[in-house]
Amino acid sequence: MTTFRIGEAAELLGVSADTVRRWIDAGRLAAERDGHGHRVITGADLAAFARDRAAAPDGTGSSSARNRLRGIVTAIVKDQVMAQVDLQVGPFRVVSLMSREAVDELGLEVGSLATAVVKSTNVVVER
């Protein structure tokens, strides 16, 4: 099972490591201790937390994404040929449609770390 250290989780969620620690201490985000005594968060728990957090946006809306967006896989829906993969990239949800074979070859699962690479002739920037 994939686990993330506090700093990694903070980067994926777009917050500071101190914020993640406060969420853990308050019981909002589940964590456990690894073999070295460090607190870690399972990929599935982090994905669920990211989904819940994204459902209640903070309304800042003053950023623009870059072409490579690192995030955590929060959902995968597969049929016989195609798949939909949802990534949570900080406060943003990115959805990719790809072949089922590609998902299987990449070993993607909920809680996995992945990077969305975006190439488009139309980019909308909002402030």
Cα gap 53→37, rounded to integer Å? 27
pTM more than 0.85: no
**Tens digit of pLDDT for each residue in 3-32?**
999 999 999 888 889 999 999 999 999 999
Q: Which residue has the higher pLDDT, 119 or 86?
A: 86
Cα gap 20→78, rounded to integer Å? 32
Q: Which helix (H) or strand (E) holds 25?
A: helix 17-25
Domains of the chain with CATH codes: 3-55 (1.10.1660.10), 67-122 (2.40.50.100)
Closest by alpha carbon to 47, among 72, 12, 65?
72
Q: Which helix (H) or strand (E) holds 22?
A: helix 17-25
Average pLDDT over residues 36-50: 93
**Tens digit of pLDDT for each residue in 46-104?**
999 988 887 655 444 443 445 678 899 999 999 999 999 999 988 889 999 999 999 99
